[in-house]
Amino acid sequence: IHEKYVDFIATFETDAGPTISGYIFDNMTVSRLGHGMVYYHRWEDLKGNCPSNVYALRNHMGSPDVPYDKTIEMMMDDMKLCGFPVKERLYEQETYYCPHVSPTDYANGWYDKLEAIQGKQNTWYAGEIMSFGDMEDTCAMSKDLVERFF
């Protein structure tokens, strides 16, 4: 299973952009696929003049994909509703987020089976597939792997 995300880098009118990052929790449901979920304010010193990354999920297991153009339209509307109308999209893309194990595969022991073959044929499995896509979990899993096998 993979997830299709759309993201773009947004600019805003002078001093009219977000000054912190934000999550749009109401859009983090299957019924709101294609809507903006996160805007990321990277550089605090730029205050409201910082370009922001805006993210949306356009697919979910068992639901039809939201078309790319419709997703962009909804993301633009969502930023406006948040009080940050987008002046320009500097860059946009569709990305595939790390592979995910389906709930059925997880319940059937996918991780236990993968763990059972760790080190076989001098192969070790690490990274996002084993610990999801955040740095802290990936580092902790990698440290554990090194401590157990090396």
- Classify 141 as helix, strand or coil: helix
pLDDT tens across the length of the chain (150 residues): 567 889 999 999 999 999 999 999 999 999 999 999 999 998 999 999 999 999 999 988 788 999 999 999 999 999 999 999 999 999 999 887 656 677 788 899 988 999 999 999 999 988 777 766 667 888 888 899 999 999
- Classify 78 as helix, strand or coil: helix
Q: Where are the domains of the chain?
A: 3-97, 103-149
Cβ pair 80, 86 in contact under 8 A: yes
- In the CATH hierarchy, which fold is given to the domain comprising 3-97? Alpha-Beta Plaits (3.30.70)
Cβ pair 72, 17 in contact under 8 A: no
